[in-house]
A and B are shown apart, each in its own frame.
Chain A
Amino acid sequence: MNKLEKLEAQSIFILREAYKSFKNIGMLWSIGKDSTVLLWLAKKAFFGHVPFDLIHVDTHYKIPEMIAYRDAIAQELKLRLVVGENRAALADRQTFVDGLDRLACCKALKSEALKHTLDGLWPRRFYDPKKDAWEEQDKAEAYNAVIVGVRSDEEGSRSKERVFSARDEKSEWDASTQPPELWNLYKTEFAPKTHVRVHPLLEWTELNIWEYIEKENIPVIPVYFDQGEGKRYRSLGCWPCTTPVESSAKNPAEIIAELVSGKFKNIAERSGRAQDKEGGGTLEALRKEGYM
């Protein structure tokens, strides 16, 4: 087996373990390349089915193509899609664009919105593939686990994550008291009310993701590729805090070449993500409070 086959087998094992272990599990789908690979792996693990909800947190500042792409794929693949958002912060104009600092904005529009989409307390929208229609949900049962496509090579605190990682009742992460995780005998026993993040992609690198997208011919959102302007996105987020990179890569093969021996060989992936550079220059503070 080659490297990609091994990574695929390991991630499928984790997805099946997660599905078996939690009654009410969902999967975060940010529309980005990593969680789209995750969606693909889920279809492999469950033989064409995605037997849980996909969850998207819409900040209303996403790069506009992302939303159109999300809705098209959900319809095409018949996904059960839950969309959450922080309606109060948006109505009160408590955002970076309206003058709030970046971290506070991330916290409100992403961390808080995620938290209350997962606990089912905030209203949200739901796409039902059987009816091919969106509906409003005022209240819903909480998810006790959520599958997330974070990778170790993205950023320091993510390099220390467990595959099955507990959040407490306030959805906070305590990195210093993580339990042992031996071999693939993941700890799936948790006290009631614990919320669990499952990370099937921890051992994948940005390069592995593109190699797999190329091998499997996975449809990813076109903003990752140069559309003729000499620019493309390398990492997707909200438009006010994410800048495209100068690149003429038009397909996965050209992106792989850039990463292996080209201009991005030694440039960090999230270098275009402004919130990483605020405060102590780390995502850890955000992640402790529930950020992905």
Chain B
Amino acid sequence: MGGLVERMNIVITGHVDHGKSTLVGRLLADTHSLPEGKLEGVRNSCARNGRVFEYSMLLDALEDEQKQGITIDSARVFFKSAKREYIIIDAPGHIEFLRNMLSGASRAAAAVLVIDAVEGVAENSRRHGLLLSLLGISQVLVVVNKLDLYHYDEAVFRAIRQEYATYLESLGVKPVAFIPVSAREGANLVAASEQTPWYRGKTVLEVLDGFANPAPDEDAFFALPLQDIYRFSNDNDERRIYAGTVVSGAAETGDRIRFLPSGKEAVIASVETWNAPAKTRVRAGESVGLTLKEDLYLQAGEVIVKSDEATPVVAARRIRANLIWLAAAPLTFDTPYLLKLGSARVEARLEAIERVLGDNPDTESLTARRELCRHECGGVILRLLKPVALAPFAENASLGRFVLVDGYDAAGGGIVHEVLPEAPGARVNASALPEGFEEELFALLKKYFPHRFPEARARSGDDFSI
């Protein structure tokens, strides 16, 4: 095998009818990525039915999409450049299908934002820009499409670039390039167009090939969310295996590890594998299984770190976050939500809506804001019923993003900006507790969390790693 080529996920976003599917269809055609006969097949079917051929028809696969000429759900489209394999996620531009756009974008390493030169910067051009920043996608290419309708007028391109660059800047997004294109005509997609002699920059394909694939950081702190614990005794296998996917750093057998938030500690005994060479080290990105020298009683949802390593992973009860709300029922103060973060699942409640994000500044006074409606983005404070080990998104993406589930609805998603101290108002009512409670509690804490009491541990000399 001549070595495996790299794979990258790219999402195509933008307002409805600005030509996203046409752009992808044309890219497929011009890079010869379509199955043989596909282009002719669609052209013939159009001729038979008296319809005008569009490149977007190569992608809109669902029956309703073809009937209505609109993209409903994100399609994964595979294509290859000379440099690597791509999955292009063609996201729908209609507001109704925002959840599908987000699903697509959350899998992407980079984004292409398409803006129609005729309509200019539209509502969803802005919204998608905002959402890309909210999802933490920093590699963004903006293409100004349909310039053929203005005879490739440089002034039209410049005006849109000016307006949209200013908007993206306000979000902290710095696009790698703006490219004038006509997706239908194929201008500046794969080959530089003669129609735009005033444009000397890269083609769309060149910019895509220039995007970097974010690699999980093996040199950073070690973190492994505990996904599950296995013991297949029925099959006469007595190993107790702690399984999960490493999200940062590396660890080896013999390393002393700590579980958060429980604080329990153990030493890695082995790295378990099947049909693979025996190994002693696990690293970021791998789905692994460990056995420990001391068996611990634990539940999925904890995060494993190294005992002697400084990490930004902390047990949090209150977080400041930005989120997008997607459910029909608004985000409110009185509803218990299920928060999913890493492998943790915990009940969460909305404590405050600090601001509403977007280009329609909220005219209501913010303290009066009682809910966040569908498709709104907000800066909020969430309170968690039990502590969850997490890190701010900027420190580690996997430990800093979450979804909220309302009943059976995936209702929203967001990223953690900051871990907040417990609210001052959250103090327990001491008079309601039984006598001697405080002493008992403290004794238990000392017994099970000796590392929190360095003096006590030194005195007793006991190893309380359970």
Contacts and interface: CB of A to CB of B under 8 A. Distances in A.
Given A13-B245, A181-B103, A216 B300 contact: no
B1 A160 contact: no
A49 B272 CA distance: 13
B409 interface: yes
Given A13-B245, A159-B77, A185 B61 contact: no
B62 A180 contact: no
B38 A268 contact: yes
A156 B410 contact: no
B103 A159 contact: no
Contact of B286 (A9, A49, A214, A267): A9
Interface in B225-239: 227-228, 230, 232, 235, 237, 239
Interface in B56-100: 61-64, 72-78, 85, 87, 99-100
A159 B63 contact: no
A179 B76 CA distance: 16
B183 interface: no
A253 B73 contact: no
Interface stretch (A30-38, A39-47, A58-66, A120-128): A39-47
Nearest to B300: A20
Nearest to B107: A183
A5 interface: yes
A205 interface: yes
Contacts of A40: 275
B275 A16 contact: no
B73 A203 contact: no
A183 B21 CA distance: 23
Given A16-B228, A48-B274, A3 B287 contact: no
B82 to A, nearest CB: 13
B35 to A, nearest CB: 4
Interface stretch (B2-10, B423-431, B440-448, B449-457): B2-10
B74 A3 contact: no
A205 B5 CA distance: 13
A197 B290 CA distance: 29
Contacts of A4: 4
Contacts of A7: 7
A225 to B, nearest CB: 17
Interface stretch (A94-102, A109-117, A186-194, A226-234): A186-194
A9 B283 CA distance: 11
B198 interface: no
A248 interface: no
Contact of A16 (B7, B215, B243, B340): B243
A47 B241 contact: yes
B152 interface: no
A157 interface: yes
A282 B61 contact: yes
A46 B230 contact: yes
Interface residues of B, number: 65
Question: Could you say which of A1, A51, A211 has the most chain B C-beta atoms within 10 Å of its C-beta?
Answer: A1
Interface residues of A, number: 63
Interface string A1-32: 11111111110110011011000000000000
Nearest to B32: A266
Given A46-B230, A49-B237, A202 B76 contact: yes
A16 B358 CA distance: 38
Contacts of A9: 245, 285-287
A56 interface: no
Contacts of A45: 243, 287
Nearest to A15: B287
Interface string A183-220: 10101011100100000001101000001001010000
Contacts of A223: none
Given A47-B272, A49-B232, A280-B63, A16 B410 contact: no
A76 B464 CA distance: 45
B318 interface: no
B306 interface: no
B35 A182 contact: no
Contact of A183 (B5, B74, B401): B401
Nearest to B289: A47
Contacts of A271: 35
A148 to B, nearest CB: 16
B410 A181 contact: yes
Contacts of B38: 268
A44 B77 CA distance: 28
A103 B245 CA distance: 42
Contact of B78 (A5, A10, A13, A152): A152
Interface string B205-230: 00000000001100000000001101
A223 B413 CA distance: 46
Interface of A: 1-10, 12-13, 16-17, 19-20, 40, 43-49, 51, 152-153, 155-157, 159-160, 162, 175-176, 178-183, 185, 187, 189-191, 194, 202-203, 205, 211, 214, 216, 253, 256, 266-268, 271, 280, 282, 284-285
8 contacts: A3-B6, A10-B287, A49-B235, A178-B73, A179-B99, A181-B106, A181-B410, A189-B338
Interface of B: 1, 4-7, 32, 34-36, 38, 61-64, 72-78, 85, 87, 99-100, 102-103, 106-107, 215-216, 227-228, 230, 232, 235, 237, 239, 241, 243, 245, 272-276, 285-287, 289, 300, 326, 338, 340-341, 398, 401-403, 405, 407-410, 413
Given A180-B99, A191-B408, 9 more contacts: A1-B215, A13-B287, A49-B235, A156-B62, A157-B62, A180-B103, A180-B403, A282-B61, A284-B63
